[in-house]
Amino acid sequence: MWQVATATGWTIDYILHKVNYQTLIMMLSDAPRYIEKRNSKPDAGTSAEDEANEIAGFFRSNLSQ
């Protein structure tokens, strides 16, 4: 979450209470990232649905704290 705050200049409070959840998901899915190649075996990668579920789980776990 702090990555979004750093990139946009928004506060964590603003992100949690004023920004639409779908907007956050789109911002995070568009963000550049490094995907490490695993072993020597070709990796099919993760699907967009898997990535979205992982992101949603991250937000759910941080909101419950």
Q: Is the pLDDT of residue 59 over 80?
A: no
**Number of domains into which the chain is organized:** 1
Q: Is the pLDDT of residue 1 over 80?
A: no
- At 5-57, the pLDDT tens digits run 887 888 989 988 999 988 888 887 877 766 666 665 545 566 778 888 888 87
**pLDDT band at residue 65, thresholds of 50, 70 and 90?**
low
In a domain, 39, yes or no: no
Q: Count of residues for the chain?
A: 65
Q: What are phi and psi of 40, to 5 degrees?
A: -105, -5
3-state secondary structure the chain: CHHHHHHHCCCHHHHHHHCCHHHHHHHHHHCCCCCCCCCCCCCCCCCHHHHHHHHHHHHHHHHCC
pTM of the model: 0.44
In a domain, 10, yes or no: yes
Domain carrying residue 58: 2-31+46-63
In a domain, 38, yes or no: no
In a domain, 58, yes or no: yes
In a domain, 40, yes or no: no
